[in-house]
Amino acid sequence: MAKHYRHGDVSFHQVSPEEAKKMIAELGDKAQIEKNVDKFVVALGEVTGHKHVMTLERPSLNIWGLPTEEDKLFQLKAPGTMTHEEHHAIVMEPGFYVQKIEREFDPFSEEARRALD
C-alpha cells in the first residue's frame, strides 16, 4: 500500500520505483534539482517565513522538479525527517514521493492558487 504524508500545506504521495523512473525519463536530466543532499527546504512560507525542511542523517536525498511549478519528485534513500516551526516533526520512510503544495479556491477572483503559509 502506498504511503501518504501530510505536513501542514505540503503533502507527499508515494509512487512506485517504476512510476518514478518513468517520470524521470520523461523529465530529462535538467529536471534534477538536487542530488545526494542531506537537507532541503521543501517549502518556504510567503507570509511567515517558516520553512518545511527535509533532513536525512547522511546525503541520500534526490529531488527533481515536476512540470507544475511547486511540485517535486523526491527519492529518499534513507528515512527523512520533515520539520516546521508550527508542526510536529514527521519521519518518512525511504521511497519515491511526489510532493504537492495545497491549493485553495478564491471565490472572489474565481481562481485556484497555492495556499499561503
pLDDT tens, residue by residue, 75-113: 999 999 999 888 789 999 999 999 987 655 455 666 644
Identify the pLDDT of residue 87. Answer: 79
- By C-alpha distance, which of 115, 103, 100 is closest to 11? 100
- Angstrom CA distances, 12 to 3, 41, 90, stand at 8, 14, 12
Tell me if 96 sits within 8 A of 16, measured CB to CB. yes
Identify the pLDDT of residue 29. Answer: 76
Quote the pTM value: 0.78
Look at residue 78 and give its three-state secondary structure. coil
- Residue range 20-55, pLDDT digits in tens: 999 999 988 788 888 999 999 887 776 666 788 899
Distance, in Å, from the CA atom of 116 to the CA atom of 102, rounded to the nearest integer, reads 9
In the numeric block, which cell numbers belong to residue 116? Answer: 499561503
Distance, in Å, from the CA atom of 100 to the CA atom of 18, rounded to the nearest integer, reads 20
Strand order of the β-sheet with 87-92 is 39-44, 51-56, 80-84, 87-92
